[in-house]
Amino acid sequence: MNRPTISQYDDPAEFVKDMIRFRKNTEAGFSVFRSVKRLRKISPALVSLVIQGKRTLTLDRADEFSKLLNLNVSEKIYFRKWLGQLEDKDFLEDGFAPSATGTRKDVGLGLLSDWINVYVKDFFHIPAVQKNPELIKKQLMTVVPPKRIAKAVQFLLREGYLRKTIDGRVVLDTTLAISEPNVPSRKIRQFHKGALSLAKVALDLFQPNERLANTLIITLDEQRYEELNGLIQEFTEKLKDFAAKNPEKAGNRLYQFIINLSPVGGKLE
């Protein structure tokens, strides 16, 4: 029996049913009853109802069902996005995909025509900045001149990332703008270099209780590199969901979170 291919299914319940059948046929010790004992949000009864089409599989149970089905990293990511799209009635096929708790917009590299655009855009999460965009100039004066920030605001308004309200505020039109990862691009490299430069400045400007710096140095071969990269990808998807949420109370400070896994020198044979 061949392993079911998730991208070929239109119904999550059918995929779950076939994956469970596959595990039963290929793993002598597998059973739904034993497997769900180690999981929190699902039971044998729920699994049975999902397979029968009597219960809808929801995004909040995606991680637990992924463990039950023994999905690999790529399948887990696909599974979560799939369930999130099915939960949102306004999902569009043109690349705009609202998540379960906020709004994401998949963007091209236009936003990165200047890497500072991303930071200027996200400062408009903060109500004080919405009322007075001039506040951004002081926040970013250590890295870019005021004229560059003004240019970024005009670009973001023109391209629809920001919009003006009737009462004169400038607000975000997109909560979270994301781009396809691992795409070779000079613009993306410039953005990451800019992010690292801001992180370097923060080490001198802010006390440890206001920032977090954590560096792990580890030797890896190709197999362990792929394993670690998979863990990072899985965590990144959860991080996007967290970032896309619209909290009841807006934050009053902009943070950046960097995940950076880099070689130190070349291979030593």
- Rounded CA-CA distance 7/263 in Å is 33
Architecture of domain 6-87: Orthogonal Bundle (1.10)
So where are the chain's domains?
6-87, 106-244
- Rounded CA-CA distance 173/154 in Å is 14
Helix (H) or strand (E) holding 14: helix 12-26
Residue 261 exposure: Cα atoms within 13 Å on the Cβ side: 14
- Please write the tens of the pLDDT for every residue from 40-51: 878 888 899 999
Residue 144 exposure: Cα atoms within 13 Å on the Cβ side: 21
Q: What are the residues whose beta carbons fall under 8 Å from the beta carbon of 137, sequence distance 6 or more?
A: 146, 149
The overall pTM is greater than 0.85 = no
- HEC-encoded secondary structure of 182-224: CCCCHHHHHHHHHHHHHHHHHHHHCCHHHCCCCCCCCCCCHHH
- Please write the tens of the pLDDT for every residue from 18-64: 999 999 999 988 999 989 888 887 888 889 999 998 888 888 888 89
Cβ atoms of residues 211 and 203 within 8 Å: yes
- Please write the tens of the pLDDT for every residue from 63-76: 899 999 998 887 88
Is the pLDDT confidence value at 170 over 80? yes
